[in-house]
Amino acid sequence: MGYQNEQTIFALSTGLGRAAIAVMRVSGAGSQALLARLCGRLPAPRRAALRRIWANAATQDNLLDEALVLWFPGPNSYTGEDGFELHLHAGPAIIKAVAEALVAGGARPAEPGEFTRRAFTNGRMDLVEAEGIADLVEAETESQRKIALAQSDGALSTLYQGWAEQLKRALAHQEALIDFPDEDLPPEVEQGLLQNIQSLITAMQAHIQEGARGERIRQGVVFAIAGPPNAGKSSLLNWLADRDAAIVSPIAGTTRDAIEVSGSLAGVKVTFVDTAGMRETEDEIEAEGVKRALFHVKQADCVLQMFAADHAPESVFAGAILIGNKTDLGQVPATVLNEPVMPVSLKTGEGLDALRAVLERRVEALTAQSSFGAPLLTRARHKAGVQEAVACLQAALEQEWPEMRGEELRLAMRALGRVTGQVGVEDLLDAVFGQFCIGK
């Protein structure tokens, strides 16, 4: 996207379809003149006012709607520019007519994420906070809402900025050692510097380790349902989905490809993947299904390993929750290979409430924070930047030459700066803001 800050942009911030209100958002240098063109007298800043909306208020030509108007003069606005909102009646004809009037007044339709991109460019937020807003808009569960809100509110940025400040102080100490080599500086100065670098490494590594939990909250915990044919895997998926998502048949090998359904457990997004029955087969299509099933098992955060009451497995996937189905037909063992078994009957419903409780506890364990209140890393981009900073700091500790140690500290600062968008991110901006919806 060719970013043109001087242009005035507009977009519908609310969804299309039947609704009472539609919010049209406008931002750019021409906003004040454009608002005056539409409604004449401007309202007081940041106060809602009822106005008639015209194609041209000066001539009172073509009344379009009567709407609430909010005027946001920059820099105290979302984008940092002059802007306004029109809270219109949501009829498609009204929206179309107002959009045409905005174009006639010199504005153009916004591209995805352009409002937030302008806010970033104008210093209203950094890149991490902007990504938090994107996640907040997409949040489906309570845990996603909380983590996105904390990120958009600056919790993660504050952590990274704190590390950057510590790096600045470390670099200042390092440069003092370089600039005053003949001064009789006590050895504690260099020892303290090295200790501070090691403390930063420890903190960053802990943050990276917690990142797996943050990514699970943002993207969802994945459960793979695995086991032999006719163990009840598709029936379990249908129960978890509360609908007929998969075909249930007594014929072995009915499920050939993975079927995914998403939902929520313990306030966390979850995805359940029903896989093909695992067995030796000469059928090429079924064999491919088994191969894909093993792939999903390896990729999953947790495996739900199913078996029928009278067919206990000979091996258990690491960390799997063992589910013995068909208790209505036979006795399910309490353990298999010293691992506990959840006895259920998908036909009668026996044990299903207990199974749901076990799944919720597993989700909580996979997403719980070990450091109370510490902001979680949620994106691969952030993880890569922090990992790069750690590598630079580790290299700094290994350097014998003070000048080279100082250079590694600068590279670590640059890596963190790329995460927050303070340095060298022009190549990233289209990718980051292109994921936003239009109107945000």
**What would you report as the CA-atom Rg of the chain, rounded to the nearest whole angstrom?**
29
Helix, strand, or coil here: 334? Answer: coil
40 is in an annotated binding site: no
348 is in an annotated binding site: no
158 is in an annotated binding site: no
8 is in an annotated binding site: no
253 is in an annotated binding site: yes
Output DSSP code: residue 302: E
Q: Which amino acid is at 302?
A: C
234 is in an annotated binding site: yes
Tokens of 137: 């808009």
Q: Which amino acid is at 258?
A: A
Helix, strand, or coil here: 7? Answer: coil
Beta strands in 30-144 (DSSP E): 49-56, 61-72, 83-89, 108-109
313 is in an annotated binding site: no
274 is in an annotated binding site: yes
440 is in an annotated binding site: yes
385 is in an annotated binding site: no
The residue assigned the tokens 């036979």 is: 330
Neighbours of 395 (CB within 10 A): 16
Helix, strand, or coil here: 25? Answer: strand
Name, in order, each residue with C-beta under 8 angstroms of 20's C-beta and a sequence gap of 6 or more.
89, 90
276 is in an annotated binding site: yes
282 is in an annotated binding site: no
* Dist. CA 379–CA 406, nearest whole Å: 29
Backbone angles phi, psi at 21, to 5 degrees: -130, 145
230 is in an annotated binding site: yes
93 is in an annotated binding site: no
232 is in an annotated binding site: yes
254 is in an annotated binding site: yes
233 is in an annotated binding site: yes
The three-state DSSP-derived secondary structure of 244-311 is CCCCCCCCCCCCCCCEEEEEEECCEEEEEEECCCCCCCCCHHHHHHHHHHHHHHHHCCEEEEEEECCC
Tokens of 256: 């050939």
371 is in an annotated binding site: no
378 is in an annotated binding site: no
Q: Do residues 47 and 24 make contact, with C-beta atoms less than 8 angstroms apart?
A: no
Annotated binding site for Mg(2+): 234, 255
Annotated binding site for GTP: 230-235, 249-255, 274-277
Annotated binding site for (6S)-5-formyl-5,6,7,8-tetrahydrofolate: 25, 85, 124, 440
Annotated binding site for K(+): 230, 249, 251, 254
Annotated binding site: 25, 85, 124, 230-235, 249-255, 274-277, 440
